[in-house]
Structure formats: structure tokens, C-alpha cells
Amino acid sequence: MPEPFLELVDISKSYPGVVALDHVGLQVSPGEVIALIGENGAGKSTLMRVLGGVVEPSGGVIRVDGAARSSLTVADAIKAGIAFVHQELNLFDNLDVAGNVFIGREPVHGGPLRLIDRKRMYADVAPLLERMGCDFAADAPLAELSLAQRQLVEIMKALSLDARLVIMDEPTSSLTLAETDRLMRTVAGLKAHGVSIIFITHRLNEVMQCADRAVVLRDGRVVGALTRAELSPAAMIRLMIGRDLKSLYVPPAAPPGDSVLEIVDAVTDTYPGRAVSLSVRRGEILGLAGLVGSGRTELARAVFGIDRLRGGAIRLDGEPIRIESPRAAIEQGIYLVPEDRKGAGLLLDVSITENISLPDLASYMRFWLVDTARENENAACQRERLKIRAPDVKTAVGSLSGGNQQKVVLAKWLSMQPKVLIVDEPTRGVDVGAKQEIYGMLRRLTDAGVAILMISSDMEEVIGVSDRLAVMHEGAISGFLDRSQFSEHNVLQLAVGHTIAAEAP
């Protein structure tokens, strides 16, 4: 094995109240493919951001070609030959392939006019295209390329910068199987040229396929490293979990009642070939787990009437209903706390009061005018009930912390009569204290007879709060779990598309 050119030693990073990285070490040798795995929030992205020079570590040493330093800048990282292929690609779809590869450092001619030397640009891209085995031309407009092809463009951009290390953050999450295969071949090709790769993924099959070794992170620490010989899905899952989840679970006051919301063979635009069926009962919290991109949010959007369902039916209390707009869903008592709090949940520069009353303004109406006194009264009451920490209800919600903003979104719906409440990542960006309060509120709602569907990628939350679990994988339900079957192992198995029975110990 050749000498490592990049070494991370004892890298730590803490934010107030949170340790994101705890004495993490990592060595990268030329031509090595390292899989970096771990659950959401294990610290993978933070570690990569340290490598990219975006995050400054609180402690530790980074050694590039033997020279030690405490942190990198973005320029250092580029100079050291570290390149990123992000999950969300940073490309311009109004430019062609060559224009994207050379963005910001286009070859110029014409002296002071600084005209783009198109000939040279295309000539320089040609060998890269050949090396990657691309089936598109240097002057192909990016807008016409598929996602997988765009990824190749991003990789070429990295290579044209003489990258020695390419970091790929979940590169296959939106690729088809054939495209994934091709990416695997590209990875092998890069490796053959001596380029190292760090591959972040949730898909253990891919790790098996391409990695020389795997590094497993959990709660900001390296909890294990597996050599090629030791790699197996079971070993990886064992390392990724292996901790006692703090028990957050508060059992419901009464056993769940009849089904309130039934989703029958629902098909969304994202996964046209897959159908989802599930039902949520009165007084229970049904957790909906799965990897990011497994189709959970799309399902929620369709049930709430933001998108149309392609097929299938929705039943409320046994009666089939048609939901063609959010208005229709709200009139039926189906409410959604969206994933994108700032974009879809709130009007940021508007007061708490006006945010809370927005979906239900009609009930504050007197002769078509808004009864602001009653509106403020209700907001004050919700503020009390949900412990929204703000100077007063006239405060703009944009100035509140994430947890308090989320409570305002909840307060919108709690002021009305929820039958079914769908919460999508209810505690993302919410501090620990507010999390507990939100969980408490969800439980009080179910005890009052509400049915809750909770979409979450936070394992602790999924296991600690739900009464029952449905796990999605690529647009379909891969399994249901009762509380007695709850374990990180089972959830992960289902989320990556395995069945529990096949892998059960």
C-alpha cells in the first residue's frame, strides 16, 4: 500500500451543545476507494466539509503531503487536489459540457477583450470525455443530459483540476440501477489512474462492490473500520447501530382505535411504478421511516393535495375522499407540517399571530374583516400551550429559533380540529429541549384522538416516538414493524430494501 498523502488526526468539531466530530482520524492513500458510512447525523458530512475547507475543526491536525496544519481553506483544499461531487450538483444547465467543466477558469484569448477560447476549451475536454468513456459531446447542452451524465461532468470538472481525491456524497441516491453500475465502473477507472475516492452512501451493496475499505461513523466518532476482507452488510449494520437509544417513548393512554386515514395503492409521480398502501389509526403515531428520497415526502404532498395522485385512493373514516387541493385536505381535517419549514411552512417576516391564523382566517371573520383581537387572543393561548419562546405574538417568526418556528407551524394546525396530522421531519433543526416538547405535544394530540403520520429520518425519533412503523424503500413500503420489532437493525434493513426475515440473526 502506498504512503497516504492525506491524513486527518484527531479531528474534532463541536457546535454549542453538540459534538459533531470527536477525535476522528482518517488516512487516504493514492488510488484507494474508501466508503464512509453511518446514519444521518453521524458526522459524515461535517467530516467532508472539514476536508473541503468549508468547516474549521475545533481541534486536530490535517496533514497534506506531510505538511501539518490545523485547518484548510477552500483554496488549500483545491490546491491539495481535493474535489467534491455533491449530492446536489453545482452545474449550470444553460451552459454546455465544456463550459461547465471550465466554469470560472475558461481559457481566454484576444488580449484585453478576454474572449473565451472555445477551440481550446473543447480540445481540452476531449481527452477527459474519452477517459471517462462518455457518450455525449463536449458541446452538448447540459440541460439535455441525464442526471447520471451530469455527474460525470462534475467528475470531469474535478479531474480537470488535477484532483487526487474525489469525494462523492451519496452519488447514487437518484440513479437507476444501470446508471449506478456505470458509475461503479467510472470509480474503478479513476482508481486505476491513481485517484482516490471517498464514497458516502447508504447503499451497502455499492460498498461491497467498489470499496477497498469502509470507515463507519457514529455520533461523530469512528466506531470501526472494515478491510475489504471484512466487508459484509451485516458487519456494517452492526457497526452503524450498536448503541442504546435513549428511550423517549411515552405509550398512548388508550390502545389505538379504528383506521382514520387509509392510503390504498397510492402512486406518486416520483415512482410511477410503485404503489403505497398504509393506514393510520385513531390515537396512534405511525412512523414513516426510510432513506432520504424514498418517496415519503412525495406521499405526504399527494395526501395533502399539493400534488395529484397518479393512482390509488384515499379513505377517511372508511369513506373514499378526493383531495385535489390543500384546501380540500384542510376541510377534511388532514393537516401537513411540511419538511421545508421556511419555504412552505411559514411567512418569515410576518407575525406569529398572522402565521397561526392564516389557514383558518375564515373563522376569525366578522363581516369579511379579520377580528384581530380574537386572532391575537388565540395566538397568545397557543404560545402558552406550546411554550413558544418569543417576546410577544407580534414578533416576526423569522427571528425565532428553529424549534420555536416549528412550534408556530404546529400551532397553526392545533388551533383547528385535526383528524390526521402529517408531520414531515418535525424536529429537523430543532434543539433538544424543543424536541421533547414537540414529542409531548404529538402524544397529547393522539391521546385526544388524532391520528399522526410522522415522517422522519432521525433514527432516535423514529424508534423513540412511533407506536408503529412503516419503512419505505424506493417508492414502496418495504415493511411494517410493531413496537416489539423496533430496532435500528430492522429499520435499516428495511430502508435499504432487504427483508428482515432473510437477515434475522
Q: In the complex, which residues of this chain contact another protein (CB under 8 A)? A: 13, 15-18, 20, 40-41, 43, 45-46, 49, 55, 304, 306, 325-327, 329-331, 336, 338, 343-350, 354, 358-359, 361-362, 364-365, 368-370, 399-403, 412, 428-431
Spatial separation of the C-alpha atoms in residues 436 and 410, rounded to whole Å: 14
Q: What's the helix, strand, coil split of the chain in %, to 5?
A: 35, 25, 35
C-alpha to C-alpha distance for 398 and 408, rounded to whole angstroms: 11
- Residue 3 cell numbers, joined: 504512503
Number of C-beta neighbours around residue 79 at 10 A:
14
For the bound state, the minimum distance from the C-beta of residue 327 to another protein, rounded and expressed in Å, comes to 5
CB 323 to another protein: min, Å: 11
In the complex with another protein, the residue whose CB is nearer, 282 or 301, is 301
Q: How far is the CB of 74 from another protein (least distance, A)?
A: 16
- 289 has which bridge partners? 471
Residue number, 206 or 458, with CB nearest to another protein: 458
- What is the spatial distance between Cα 391 and Cα 469, in angstroms, rounded to a whole number? 38
Q: Please, which contacts does 231-240 make with residues 24 or more away whose CB atoms are closer than 8 Å?
A: 231/207, 232/208, 233/204, 233/205, 233/208, 233/496, 233/498, 233/503, 234/503, 236/37, 236/204, 236/207, 237/204, 237/489, 237/492, 237/493, 238/489, 240/37, 240/38, 240/39, 240/42, 240/216, 240/488, 240/492
Residue number, 13 or 150, with CB nearest to another protein = 13
Residue 211 vs 217, nearer CB to another protein = 217
| Sign of the dihedral defined by the CA atoms of residues 368, 373, 379, 385, in that order | negative
Work out whether the CA dihedral 37, 41, 44, 45 comes out positive or negative: positive
SS3 29: coil
Beta bridge partners of 311: 267
In sequence order, the β-bridge partners of residue 365 are 370
* CB-based burial label for 121 (10 Å; 0-12, 13-18, 19+): buried
Least Å distance, CB 332 to another protein, is 11
254 or 350: CB nearest another protein: 350
66 three-state secondary structure: coil
* Smaller CB separation from another protein, 196 or 201: 201
Q: Write the CB contacts of 177 (distance below 8 Å, at least 6 apart in sequence).
A: none
Cβ distance to another protein smaller for residue 110 or 343: 343
Nearer to another protein, 53 or 256 (CB): 53
In the complex, the smallest distance separating the C-beta of residue 451 from another protein, rounded to whole angstroms, is 19
Rg of the chain over Cα atoms, rounded to whole angstroms, equals: 25
Least separation in angstroms between residue 18's CB and another protein is 5
Residue 45 or 493 with smaller CB distance to another protein: 45
Beta carbon nearer to another protein, 192 or 362? 362
Residue corresponding to grid cell 393510520: 280
Write down the least CB distance from residue 472 to another protein, Å. 20
Amino acid at 1: M
CB of 288 to another protein, least distance (A): 19
Q: How far is the CB of 432 from another protein (least distance, A)?
A: 8
Q: Which of 320, 333, 325, 334 is nearest to 307 (CA)?
A: 325
- DSSP code per residue over 392-417: -TTSBGGGS-HHHHHHHHHHHHHTS-
Nearer to another protein, 18 or 115 (CB): 18
Helix (H, G, I), strand (E, B) or coil at 87: coil
Q: Which is nearer to another protein, 149 or 427 (CB)?
A: 427
